[in-house]
Amino acid sequence: MTCKLKQPQHHIPPLRLQNTWARTDEQKATTFAHHSPLPFTSYNRRRRQYHARTKFSISDGTPTKKISKSEVDYIIQHNTNPTKAPGYDLLTGTLIKELSQKGIRALTQIYNAILRLEYFPRHWKIGQIIMMAKPGKNPD
């Protein structure tokens, strides 16, 4: 959290529409939705959907098998890319790969509790899309 506060805050400038400017996050999201090939939904509608879906059912009536510590350790060591961008929690792949056995045990307990309770944290359902202008193109 301290690292995030120390970093300079990046201001996203307003986007020019035909006759007006998109200044709020909602207006910018709507503008990107109209100009992107990705299937976006409106900013407020997505927020309401994520907040409404705090429980996600994965069971079909059969009990879910618990995840073992060795499975979590294997996936961290073999399937975690240290060069990928961090998620909402700002944990990098390098940091996760250097977890102690105590940290891996804690992660295993968290994953098993998620499966047992069928509750996925809201922050795990949120993605951040950063639009980047092509070099040499007008960012407006």
- Give the model's pLDDT for residue 50: 46
What is the C-alpha separation between 5 and 125, in angstroms, rounded? Answer: 23
Q: Which residue has the higher pLDDT, 38 or 77?
A: 77
Close Cβ partners of 82 (under 8 Å, ≥ 6 residues apart): 92, 93, 94, 97
Check residue 38 and give its pLDDT.
53
Per residue in 24-54, pLDDT (tens digit) is 878 877 777 776 655 555 445 545 554 444 4
Q: pLDDT value at position 63?
A: 64
What's the pLDDT score for residue 53?
46
CA distance 105 to 75: 13
State which H helix or E strand residue 49 sits in: helix 43-52
pLDDT of residue 2: 66
